[in-house]
Amino acid sequence: MSNDEPDYLKAIRRAQERKKGPLPRAGADVPKEAPLSPIEREALRWAREVAGQEVRPGPTLRGAKCAFLSQPKTYDGKAPILLDGVASREALLNKYEAATSFGDKVLGCYDLVGSRPLNVETKDGKTSFVPGAVRQIAKSMTPEQMIRKAAQEAEQLAKTRKPDDRMGRGGGRGGGGGGGNRGR
């Protein structure tokens, strides 16, 4: 900005810069609106199996390496079950110890990188995680695979469809099957 600009132009520029806000940081930040990855969806599926009811995925789940399933302690006892993500097993251990010391109900831990639940084991006052069985993650299909699968399903439907269904009779409004304004 030059010094010979009127004050009102300077004020407008400052307001525009304030509206822009800080520039987004480069790195592993994932927007909150981004859909969950297949690994994160599998962790959420595991959490629902363990909890037996609805689980809320936390915003920290996206891009995390481990997940922590807990129900915070509340006065009325109606806290939601949350699935939060953490960056490492060390952070998971810290979160586990903090939650148990506060009296939160810890339902489980999950390793997103290894796609397996983690069982908590305490020996001689030292807490550690023992990996459970690996869970299978559904692999996404390529567009070509989707087209081939749809063609196979359509072919199978054509073979099993009744002859009356192919003609398209009896459908639509009024059940007449024809169109137009006949008889009116």
Per-residue pLDDT of 121-146, as tens digits, reads 988 888 889 898 888 876 777 888 88
- The percent of residues in the chain predicted with pLDDT above 70, rounded, is 78
Residues spanned by the domain of 95: 38-131
pLDDT of residue 133: 87
For residue 124, the Cα-to-chain-centroid distance in whole angstroms is: 37
Per the model's pLDDT, the better-predicted residue between 13 and 147 turns out to be 147
Mean pLDDT along residues 139-161:
87
Q: What is the mean pLDDT of residues 98-126?
A: 90
How many domains are contained in the chain? 1
Residue 106 within a domain: yes
Contacts of 137 (CB under 8 A, 6+ apart): 38, 39, 42, 115
Considering the domain boundaries, does residue 89 fall inside one? yes
Question: Is the pLDDT reported for residue 28 higher than 70?
Answer: no
pLDDT in tens, 64-99: 999 999 988 888 877 889 999 999 999 999 999 999
In a domain, residue 24? The reply is no
pTM: 0.58
55 CB-near residues (< 8 Å, 6+ apart): 44, 47, 48, 69, 81, 82, 83
Average pLDDT over the chain reads 80
- Predicted confidence at residue 140, as pLDDT, reads 72
**CB 79: neighbour CB atoms within 10 A?**
14
Q: Looking at the predicted structure, is the pLDDT value of residue 159 above 60?
A: yes
Q: Rounded to whole angstroms, how far apart are CA atoms 61 and 45?
A: 13
For residue 49, pLDDT over 50 is answered with yes
15 occurs within a structural domain: no
Q: Does 153 have pLDDT greater than 80?
A: yes
124 within domain boundaries: yes
Residue 63: inside a domain: yes
